Amino acid sequence: MSLKLPKVIGHRGAKSYAPENTVESIRTAAGLGVEWVELDVKLTADNVPIIFHDEELDRTTSGTGLVAATRYEDLRDLDAGSWFGDSFVQCRIPTLEQAIDEILKAGMGLNLEIKPCPGREKETAEVALDYLSRCWDDLDKILISSFQHVSLEAALDLAPDYARGLLIGGLELPENWKNVAEYLDVSTINLGSRMVTKQVAEDVMDFEKPLLVYTVNDPMEAKALQRLGVDGFFSDCPDVIIENLAGGLN
C-alpha cells in the first residue's frame, strides 16, 4: 500500500475552529496548512451520503430527530453552524460529494470514517464507496476507517485498492485485534489515546502497521505518545500539534 500519511490529521476538519464536519471546517483546516482531514459519513433516510457524526441532528444543527429517519431534502437547509458561533450561521450539512469537491480543490488527503446508523453498516460503506470510487483515484491520499467490521468488510469488497484503518474504541485492545486486522487487511491501527500504553504501542509496532491515535489536542500528550512510537495523530487543533512537534514530526 502506497499510503502517504501525514503526522497530523485534522479531526472532523478543524473542529476547534469551525463547526465539525462542514465545508467551512475543511476550508479552515486547509487554511492552517493541514494536509489531511478526517470526516464522518452516514446515510439519510433516502440514502444520500452526508458528512455527519451523530445519530441525531440535535447537537450540531437546528433540526431534531434521527438522521436515519430524515430525508436529505429535510436536512439540506438546516443550520449546522450557529451552535458553534455567529459567524457560521449559514453552514449546512454537506453531502459527501460537496465535501470531496472541497478536499480535492484544496489538494488534501482524506480519512473517511464510515459512521453508519445502527443496522446500516454495509449499506453506508457501499453507498459512500460507490461514489468515492468514481471521483477519487489518488490511492496515496485516502484511508477508509470504521469501528464497524461489517463496514470495513464492505470496503474491502467494493474498493480493495483503498487503504483501510481499523478503529478500536474502549480502554484496552481486544484480544483478537490482530486477527480482525489481518482478516480485513487493514493498513493502519487507529486507537483512542487513553488506550495507548508502552505495551500497546509495542504490540502495534510489532504488527508493522502505522499506529494513529485520536483525539490529541495537548502538545505534551502528543510528545509523550510520539516517544512511545505513535506514528500520527488526529487533532481538533491540528496546527497546534504540528507546530509543537515540528522537527520531530515533519
Q: What was the pLDDT predicted at 50?
A: 98
Active-site positions read: 11, 53
Secondary structure element (H or E) that encloses residue 36, with its range: strand 36-43
Domains, the chain, with CATH or none = 8-245 (3.20.20.190)
Q: What was the pLDDT predicted at 245?
A: 87
**Under 8 Å CB-to-CB from 220, ≥6 apart: which residues?**
none
Q: What is the DSSP letter of 208?
A: T
Contact 58, 138 (CB under 8 A): no
Q: What was the pLDDT predicted at 2?
A: 74
Contact 79, 62 (CB under 8 A): yes
Segments of the chain scoring below 50 in pLDDT = 249-250
Q: What was the pLDDT predicted at 113?
A: 98
Distance CA 94, CA 124 (A): 16
